[in-house]
Amino acid sequence: MGHRINTEKSPMGVLFLVVLIDMIGLTLVIPFLTYFVQDLALSGGITSIGARDLWVGIIIAAYSAAQFIFTPILGALSDRWGRRPILMFGLASNTVFFTVFGLSSSLTMALIARFLAGAGNGNIAVAKAYIGDISSPGETAVRMGAIGAAFGLGFMIGPLIGGVLSDPASTFGGMFDTQFWRNYPYLLPCLFCSLLSLTSLSIAARRLPESMHPKNRTGPADSALSGFSKMMSNSVKVLRIPTISTLVIINFLYMVGFSMMHGTFILFTALNVDSGGLGFSELQNGLVFAFIGLLGVVVQGMLIGKLTKKFKMSKLMVVGTLASGLGIASLPYVSSGMVWLILVSAGLIAIGNGLYSPTQSSLLTIAAKSADDDLGMIMGAQEGYGALARIIGPLSAAYIWSLTVEGGGMWTYHTCFRVAGIFFVVATLLQLSLKLTAEPALDSATA
């Protein structure tokens, strides 16, 4: 049984803020990270376009790699020490390492800052565990929905803030028109995120109670490393379960293809027009990603419930996968003369992901419950494979980009987007092979 907290002083508002700040911090770097890493590479003497851009994928993957390793460890520590100290540690980590990242003067410093930011930040997983501690079965779905809303809102706000606050010496001038801000053009958005984290840390310190009763905590025999080893063990077990293993593999393929877009999207839009790119600034990229976030909120927050009452979730999942794949594969074919088409590709990505994510999670939940399997183990394994995909995707995309960006014929910068499209095609074919035993409406599936 969870440790119930006085509902008159519900911690949900603080938890919402914690997750929102996590997502803002994660997505705030999207508009400028590519430009920042390219600048650091050039200042470090890396002049080859391919070698320079490979570092973009490495630094994106570093954050995901740290989360893959340390999130289950932090989860195990939260079982042992309580949720509150781990959540506050994550906020403190954000406060420090976002500023360090903004002050980075070398690729090594930027890489370490992003890795340590990911290592200290297991807040989303721990926040979900906190909700499980304090909620009755009837409250859980609604409260998890609030966390999902924080995800969407953060994805919309983060890139916009990151784009607006980048390079303040040129954008705002005035008090920012100094050599310091010209030397650190991406420090301001990082400072903004650190300030948000510090504010959230202050609120959590005063208003966030511990959710776990001491008697429910694990003893010293449960090593923190057991969280990681358990995740790895569960990931292998899940692959032996029919239907569920297929759904998990589908999600892995989808996430590899989707995360390939994270770095190469802006590598393409930032590419000089003469080289076939769009020549976008940080602000323009921020606006495009804010558009993606807004559409995602509309689809998942307003439309998905209505659509699942009219169509099978398995069909919506297929449509979502194809739309995402088409959106990503079509990106490099947007020309500078018809730049508005970027919104069509971005719209397909947003709508596709908005259809795919909730339907895939719900179908996995239904399959697990109908087979009487351990839902926690299965969802944890899916999270593990998803984290692995977020490492493989950016690294492989940046590597392919580095080999082809100056190529010709069939082997041009278009290649990595085509490869991403292949992952979505394979994921779709696997979905069409699925034989699902039951498909209740989404609302009942997640209730």
Whether the model pTM is above 0.95: no
User: Looking at the domain covering 231-447, what would its CATH class be?
Assistant: mainly alpha
Task: Give yes or no on whether 9-209 and 231-447 have one common fold.
Answer: yes
Domain residue spans of the chain: 9-209, 231-447
378 has a pLDDT exceeding 90: no
Please give the share of the chain, as a percent, with pLDDT higher than 70: 87
**What DSSP letter does each residue of 34-76 carry, written as one string?**
HHHHHHHHHHTT---HHHHHHHHHHHHHHHHHHHHHHHHHHHH
Q: What is the CATH number of domain 9-209?
A: 1.20.1250.20
Q: Rounded to 5 degrees, what are φ and ψ at 437?
A: -80, -30
CB atoms inside a 10 Å sphere around CB 437: 9
Among residues 60, 76, 82, the alpha carbon closest in space to that of 5 is found at: 82
User: Any idea which of 161-175, 310-324, 331-345, 354-368 has the lowest mean pLDDT?
Assistant: 354-368
pLDDT in tens, 278-288: 999 999 999 99
- Please give the mean pLDDT across all residues of the chain: 84
> What is the reported pLDDT for 321?
96
Q: How confident is the model at residue 103 (pLDDT cuts 50, 70, 90)?
A: very high
Given pLDDT bands bounded at 50, 70 and 90, which one contains residue 407?
A: confident
**For residue 443, pLDDT beyond 50:** no
Asked whether 424 and 360 are in contact (CB, 8 A), the reply is no
